[in-house]
Structure 1
Amino acid sequence: MSAIGSICLGNLRRRKVQNALIGLLLLLSTLLINTAITVITSSENLYEDLHRETRGSHELLKLTKGLHDPQRVQEWWAGQQGITVSSVMTYKSMAGIIHNGEDIPNLSLYMMSTPDQPFGTDELVFAQGQEAAHPEPGTVWIPTSLAYKYNVAAGDTLQFKAGDEPLQLSVSAVVIDLPLGGPFSTTARIWMNPADYQQDLSTVSVNNSYLMGIRFDDYSQSAAYWEQFEEFLGTPFMEERTTYEEISAFYFIMNKIIGFVMTFLGLVMMLVALYTIGFTISDAILSNYKTIGIFKSLGLSSRKIIFTYILQYGFLSLITIIPGLLLSRLLSGVIIELSLSFLKTDHSSVHIYSSDTELIVGAGILLLILLVVWVYAGKARSIQPMQAIRYGMSEAAHSRINRKWGEERRRGKEFEKWPVPVVIGLRNVTKNLKGSLLMLVLTTVTSAVLVFGLVLLNSIYQMQETSPLWGYDSSDVVVMVTNAAEFDHSSLTADIASDSRVLNLNWAGYAIGVAPASRTQASDPAGSRPQSVNIPLTVVEGSMDEIGLASISGRNPHNRNEISIGINISRKLNKEIGDVVELYIEKEKHSFTVTGIYQSIANMSNQARVTSEVVRNLSAETGYLNLKDSADSDDIVQQLNDSYGSDIQAVKQQTMLDSVFKEATAVLIIPMSLLGLLFLLITCLIIYSTSRIHIRKEIKTYGIYKSIGLTSNTIRSALTLGIAALAAAGAILGIFCGVYLLPGILRGLLSSYGIVKLPLLMQWTGISLLALLSITVAGCGCWFASRIIRSHSARILVTE
């Protein structure tokens, strides 16, 4: 056993660079894989635990059109066994909020008359401020999604556009509002004192709306309850209904994207590490062939020799996997803190769930490494002591090398007309095929990571250029009516029509369409029976084409009997272009022909578009302006806001998109930048190590080159150019993978969110620069490794 230990320690000492590199690869691959798993599982567990603790709703019902009696609806659900239903919550929908003199854009407000707590479902968690039964008079509670995003804290004053004069209320608490306060939310519940609600909002000419949450003891039975409920109503439920999948989806989307990227790249890095281990073991066996033959002749068995490699890499794995698992906790914490910051309070941080997965990931990686070591180290079984001592290799390999030397001498004449540096660089690449393949893979992966990160971040940051393919409009300015009772549509329309800078103006409103259970393929979570589907409708008064609403197939509806449906509605109803869809709108049955199918990240494509002729009581409260010159957007916005005061809120479309998606860029930029830097570092180190090994093997050859007049820098430049050419081929493959392969895989992940065609913007200048960066890093690794040529004289090199 002492002999095995001595050999193992000797291997660790002699190959410090290679062992350090392999250790770094194992650490980073462990870090990435465990971070990805931890981020995904922690996100889901954190949300589910909070959902359970707050008795979170599985469904939300919003009654805004007066089509059902809220009290009657609540009483029916409250009377069912296995159901928890909240009290009826009264609110008024508004828009327009000011903090520190700045308008907060693109935010719909539900001004709540706070009922007595507990609510029954969706209990509030206080993140800042003192917990109380109701907000104090003159104060409000606001959700973390509003507070953290716009730096609003307890004690600040907010102004609400609630009539001729703004309503000023101070923030007494910030609360976690689980169903309506998630990432990318464009709604916020503002919890008011009931007396303030009656007094301050009595003059606001907006009808009361009602909201209630439903929690099932067994969510899989929801379809059976809904069937009974609609039998009780005598009609399908005609108001808005939000399911658990829609409530929870956007808490997970960013972490799923990050987890996907990290898992994929962590597995690639692990494969590179395993290949490097196999390559290093094979090289070690060939380099020490004679030594192993001597060990065998002295009585050391093949099993013990193999065990020395298992012991060596087992030790190396343990001292790198454990730090990798510990570091993954820190990285996971940073990512989760960023992506789920809305679930954090002043007195508690976001909890990381990792202990079980860490053990499984660590043990799995260790077993995989030991298996690879055992397979590659098994080559030592075939070593015959006499052949090893005589030839330093097997007799068959010795004969093969002699034959190969003769063939190389004959082939050498083919390169006589080539420049000497080209021949040296080409020979360095072709003679070391395993190492060259490893370098090619590394530069491909590195380029793919860099390009994919750039394309993804740039596509989100520049979303305005592709906004129709994300389900949004492409207008220059959006006008949101904040005081419908006082606002004069005709006056604004006339003013805009007389403005020579404006190309067109179109209005849109909102309604609910219901596909009855008999016409739908949608089923409950257990998949046992169909359910009716409540579909939010975008109702356009004007031209959808002018607004810029796009379809991935077909066209926008032009007539009252036409409809365009989101991709997930198409799946639920099993409808394609040309099919007929039957919907109940305002308790009237309508038949529509599907003219288009579109994708939208909002509502996960669970929506549809119709013309205004279909809806009798349409409140068109959003206007879309296109300008002849988009550079006039700022002036138009300022002019409209000055002219119409608190009746409207005019903003640029870019401002609205930024209000939703800037947080996505902020969350993604840290992990994507980190991954890019890691792969650049790994590429440089592995190319350095591989080149160093090969240069040491060929050191006598380079001594001969120096003795016949070639300088050290000429030889080093030739070797570097050969590696750079190999890296250029890898960079080209990496660009293809980063532009097509990785987005294609990500598209599959986003399909359930309603995005089947990922709208990407190709910044070819940046892509080319990143590819050039990976080539430069590869060349630097080879250049640094070749310093040994410069530090040795030709005589010493030839002697060696």
Structure 2
Amino acid sequence: MYAILTLCFAHIKKRKIQNVLLAILIMLSTLLLATSVTIIMNTSNIFEKTHHDSNGAHQILTMGKDIHNPITVNNWWQEQQGVTASNLIPYRNLSGFTANGVKTPNLYLFMMNTPKTPFTIDRLLFSEGENQDYPTEGTIWIPTSMASTSNISLGDAIEFNSGENAFTLSVSGIVVDLPYGGPFTTNARIWMNDSDYHKQFDTMIGSEQYMMALRFDDYQQSANYWIEFEKFLNGPYLESKMEYESIAGFYLIINKIIGFLMVAFGIAMLFISLFIIGFSISDAILTNYKTIGVIKSLGLTSRKISATYVLQFGLLSVFSIIPGLIASTVLSRVIIESSLSYLKAGKHLTIIQDFRIIILLAVIILVIVILTAFIYSNKARHVEPVQAIKYGMSEFANNKVNRRLNNSNRLSNLVNLPVQLQVGIKNITKNMKSSILIIVLTAITSAILVFSAVILNSFISIKQNTSAMGYDSSHVVVTVINDATFSKQQFEQFLRSDERIKNHAWLDQFTGVLPNGPNQPLNINVDTIEGSFDDAGYETFSGRNPVNKNEIAIGINVAKALHKNIGDIVEVYIEGKQHHLIVTGIYQSIANMSYSARISADVIKVYNSTYSASKQSMINLVDETLSAQIVDDLNNNFNSSVSAVTQQTLLDGVFKQVVAVFILPLSVIVILFIAVTFIIIFSVSRINVRKESGTYGIFKSIGMTSNTIRWSITSGILFLSALGTIFGIFIGVKVIPVALQSILLEYGLLELPLAINWPVSIGLSLLSILAACLGCWLSTRIIAKTSPRILLVD
């Protein structure tokens, strides 16, 4: 045992820098894997905990008085055993608000008449502000999503416009409001005092709407309740229904993507670390081949020699894994706090650190490292003392090296390259394993760099891909905020008389019910257009948009749920009226997770001949650069009845938070892999330089300068890393986005539309080449510092 320990510590001392760098690699692998496990584990847990603490709803029903009687519906659910139903909460709809001098027109508001809290179910959790029974007069509670995206704090005044009058209320509470407070939301519930509610809306034109929440003792049994409920209604429920999956979905999507990337790249880094361990052991055995032969001739067994390497890398792993685990607790908290900030009730989220899983992960990494060291160290078994002492390697390896040198010499003479390039080529061909490692490593690093640039640019430049994301691609969007003062005829006359305007369309939304759902009827959003979906910029990935009164296009998740394809007939209820429509197209949309459909206004006119869409107008311009000018003109001319904004403003309001959340984890991964590229190539180049020290001593003795030799070696690394970067660009643009499809499909995207900024992407990918070349250049300093005589002796 004493001999094993002596040899083990001798190996560690002899290669301090190499062992330190390898320890850093194992630590970084542990950091990424432990962080990804914590993120994945907490993403669902934090949401579930918040849902439990708020006694959260499984379904949210919204109703008017035109189709179902809200009181009758609420009474039926109140009588059911195994279901908790909230009381009806009245509300009125508004569009947009102004806070801190900034107008936000793209948030659609439910102005709630707050009942006394705590609610039976779907309780509000206070993130900021005093937890009171209800807002005091003149104040409101707003969701965390609205506060975060619009930078609203306690005490800020918010101005609302009902169309008939404007009024201002101050924020007294910021609350976690699960159903309408997640990422990507375009809705928000504003909780008002009863006196303020009646004061502002009693005289407002239009009817009051109602909302109620349902929580099932066993959510899996919800379909059975709905079968009985529809028997009671003598038909399907024909108004809006939000499911638990929709409530949870967008809270989880960002962390699912982040977790997936960190797991994938963490595993890649671990495999690279294992390769380096194997490479280091193989190199150590070859370098000390003669010494091992002598030791074996003196009686030390192959098993004990192998044990020295297993012990060496086992100790390195133990001292590397522990700081990796500690660092992961900090990094995972920062990422989770950022990505799940909407669920923060208080100063911090309650992040669960399951030490059993973390310790299990640490043990798995340690076992894999030890197993790798054991497998590679078994090469010491094949050391024959006589051959080791005679050749410094096996006789077979000696012959193989001689043949390779002869072949590389013939290749160099044939090509007749400059001496510097010949040295670089020999360095590549003589060390094929390390050459392949450099290509793979720079490919992975550049793939991460390119993918990070592409994914961030795709969200920053979302305007380029709005159609592929399921949105329209119009230039200006106008929302009618006051039906009483709005004249559609005057508005359209203004549009037709303006030569800057190319075309326009009117969009309306209805609740559609597909009674033949897999378990229960599907309640979906139905976009209804007066005009042309194509002109408005809506795309389908299969078929076409509907044009006629007997046609419909459906989202991919609707098509999947109903097993429908182009040409099939679907039965759908809209405004309580039954329609049988032909599927003309299938599209993807992140909005509503592709549980939606598109129809022309002619479908509504089948039962309502006087129908005219007048909720939202999408306008295209001859010159898009005039969008801001058109917005100002429309707001000035129709200030009391409409709110006009550019499409870019709407998109920024939805996606700017996504960009902010992605920046941190992607930056961490990118920095780690650039550091890993530098570390590994430094280590590999140092090993290769030590193996070829005699050759470089000869080069120096015949007149080659140290810098010439170093540049020659670096030129080979430059070629390999450039080749790896080319592969990496392809992987980052094509392969990684495809790997994300399994996650994205759940959220209504068959494929992730990308906006590629090639100059930026290629420029970032060159960082992997820079890290590789810098690592090689610094590792060859030993050539400059050492005299030719010592190199020859080494």
TM tier, smaller: over 0.9
Residues of 2 paired with 1:404 and 1:610: CA distance? 71
Residues of 1 paired with 2:230 and 2:433: CA distance? 68
The answer to whether residue 583 in structure 2 is matched with residue 589 in structure 1 is no
**Counterparts in 2 of 1:139-538, with a 5 A limit?**
139-401=139-401, 413-415=413-415, 417-517=416-516, 520=517, 522-523=518-519, 531-538=520-527
- Give the drift of 1:608: 0.2
Does structure 2 conserve the Cα–Cα contact (< 8 Å) formed by 1:38 and 1:357?
A: no
Does structure 2 conserve the Cα–Cα contact (< 8 Å) formed by 1:83 and 1:214?
A: yes
More deviation in 424-433 or 74-83?
74-83
- Give the drift of 1:209: 0.9
Q: 1:720 to 1:282 in 2, by over 3 A?
A: same
- Give the drift of 1:799: 4.3
1:787 is aligned to 781
Residues of 2 paired with 1:475 and 1:284: CA distance? 65
Does structure 2 conserve the Cα–Cα contact (< 8 Å) formed by 1:142 and 1:171?
A: yes
Residues of 2 paired with 1:409 and 1:658: CA distance? 61
Residues of 1 paired with 2:563 and 2:724: CA distance? 44
One-letter amino acid matched to 1:173:
G
Does structure 1 conserve the Cα–Cα contact (< 8 Å) formed by 2:744 and 2:751?
A: no
- Give the drift of 1:88: 0.9
Q: 1:423 to 1:775 in 2, by over 3 A?
A: same
Q: 1:356 to 1:655 in 2, by over 3 A?
A: farther
Does structure 1 conserve the Cα–Cα contact (< 8 Å) formed by 2:530 and 2:613?
A: no
1:613 is aligned to 602
1:123 is aligned to 123
The answer to whether residue 45 in structure 2 is matched with residue 26 in structure 1 is no
- Give the drift of 1:400: 4.3
Is the partner of 2:467 in helix, strand or coil? helix
Residues of 2 paired with 1:391 and 1:798: CA distance? 17
List runs of 5+ in structure 2 lacking aligned partners. Answer: none
More deviation in 102-111 or 698-707?
698-707
- Give the drift of 1:780: 1.6
Is the partner of 1:688 in helix, strand or coil? helix
Question: How many positions carry a matched residue from both structures?
Answer: 789
Residues of 1 paired with 2:408 and 2:136: CA distance? 90
Does structure 1 conserve the Cα–Cα contact (< 8 Å) formed by 2:545 and 2:584?
A: yes
Residues of 1 paired with 2:384 and 2:751: CA distance? 60
Residues of 1 paired with 2:172 and 2:127: CA distance? 11
Residues of 2 paired with 1:283 and 1:796: CA distance? 21
- Give the drift of 1:29: 1.0
Q: 1:618 to 1:41 in 2, by over 3 A?
A: farther
- Give the drift of 1:245: 0.7
Does structure 2 conserve the Cα–Cα contact (< 8 Å) formed by 1:206 and 1:485?
A: no
Residues of 1 paired with 2:298 and 2:134: CA distance? 86
- Give the drift of 1:401: 4.2
Residues of 1 paired with 2:335 and 2:320: CA distance? 22
Percent identity reads 47
Does structure 1 conserve the Cα–Cα contact (< 8 Å) formed by 2:601 and 2:613?
A: no
User: Deviation per CA, 1:691-730, whole angstroms, max 9, x where unpaired?
Assistant: 1111121122122222323222222211111110111110
Residues of 1 paired with 2:693 and 2:507: CA distance? 76
Matching residue within 690, 695, 705 for 1:696: 690
- Give the drift of 1:482: 1.4
1:52 is aligned to 52
Q: TM-score, normalised by structure 1?
A: 0.96
Residues of 1 paired with 2:756 and 2:148: CA distance? 32
Is the partner of 1:469 in helix, strand or coil? coil
Residues of 1 paired with 2:465 and 2:90: CA distance? 38
- Give the drift of 1:311: 1.5
Is the partner of 1:184 in helix, strand or coil? coil
**Counterparts in 2 of 1:18-97, with a 5 A limit?**
18-64=18-64, 66-97=66-97
More deviation in 176-185 or 147-156?
147-156
More deviation in 622-631 or 669-678?
669-678
Residues of 1 paired with 2:405 and 2:729: CA distance? 38
Does structure 2 conserve the Cα–Cα contact (< 8 Å) formed by 1:512 and 1:535?
A: yes
Q: 1:783 to 1:405 in 2, by over 3 A?
A: closer
Runs (4+) of structure 1 moved beyond 4 Å?
Answer: 399-413
- Give the drift of 1:736: 0.8
- Give the drift of 1:555: 0.9
User: Deviation per CA, 1:575-628, whole angstroms, max 9, x where unpaired?
Assistant: 111111111122221111111111000100000000112223565311111111
Is the partner of 1:259 in helix, strand or coil? helix
One-letter amino acid matched to 2:710:
R
Is the partner of 2:149 in helix, strand or coil? coil
**Counterparts in 2 of 1:728-743, with a 5 A limit?**
728-743=722-737
Residues of 2 paired with 1:478 and 1:785: CA distance? 59
Residues of 1 paired with 2:473 and 2:64: CA distance? 28
Matching residue within 661, 664, 683 for 1:667: 661
Residues of 1 paired with 2:264 and 2:640: CA distance? 50
Is the partner of 1:678 in helix, strand or coil? helix
1:527 is aligned to none
Does structure 2 conserve the Cα–Cα contact (< 8 Å) formed by 1:142 and 1:173?
A: yes
- Give the drift of 1:644: 2.1
Residues of 1 paired with 2:339 and 2:327: CA distance? 19
Q: TM-score, normalised by structure 2?
A: 0.97
1:104 is aligned to 104
Q: 1:652 to 1:310 in 2, by over 3 A?
A: same
One-letter amino acid matched to 1:583:
V
Q: 1:421 to 1:199 in 2, by over 3 A?
A: same
Matching residue within 525, 531, 537 for 1:542: 531
Residues of 2 paired with 1:413 and 1:110: CA distance? 80
Q: 1:614 to 1:794 in 2, by over 3 A?
A: same
- Give the drift of 1:405: 5.5
Is the partner of 1:44 in helix, strand or coil? helix
More deviation in 93-102 or 593-602?
93-102
Residues of 1 paired with 2:278 and 2:165: CA distance? 75
Is the partner of 1:270 in helix, strand or coil? helix
- Give the drift of 1:491: 1.7
- Give the drift of 1:336: 0.9
CA RMSD of aligned residues (A): 1.7
Does structure 1 conserve the Cα–Cα contact (< 8 Å) formed by 2:337 and 2:348?
A: no
One-letter amino acid matched to 1:446:
T
1:598 is aligned to 587
2:677 is aligned to 683
1:636 is aligned to 630
Residues of 2 paired with 1:768 and 1:315: CA distance? 40
- Give the drift of 1:350: 4.3
One-letter amino acid matched to 1:465:
Q
- Give the drift of 1:770: 2.1
Residues of 2 paired with 1:139 and 1:764: CA distance? 50
The answer to whether residue 569 in structure 2 is matched with residue 580 in structure 1 is yes
Residues of 1 paired with 2:543 and 2:509: CA distance? 22
Residues of 2 paired with 1:614 and 1:402: CA distance? 82
- Give the drift of 1:96: 2.2
One-letter amino acid matched to 1:215:
R
- Give the drift of 1:387: 3.4
User: Deviation per CA, 1:197-232, whole angstroms, max 9, x where unpaired?
Assistant: 112211221311111111111111111111111011
Residues of 1 paired with 2:146 and 2:405: CA distance? 74
Does structure 1 conserve the Cα–Cα contact (< 8 Å) formed by 2:412 and 2:422?
A: no
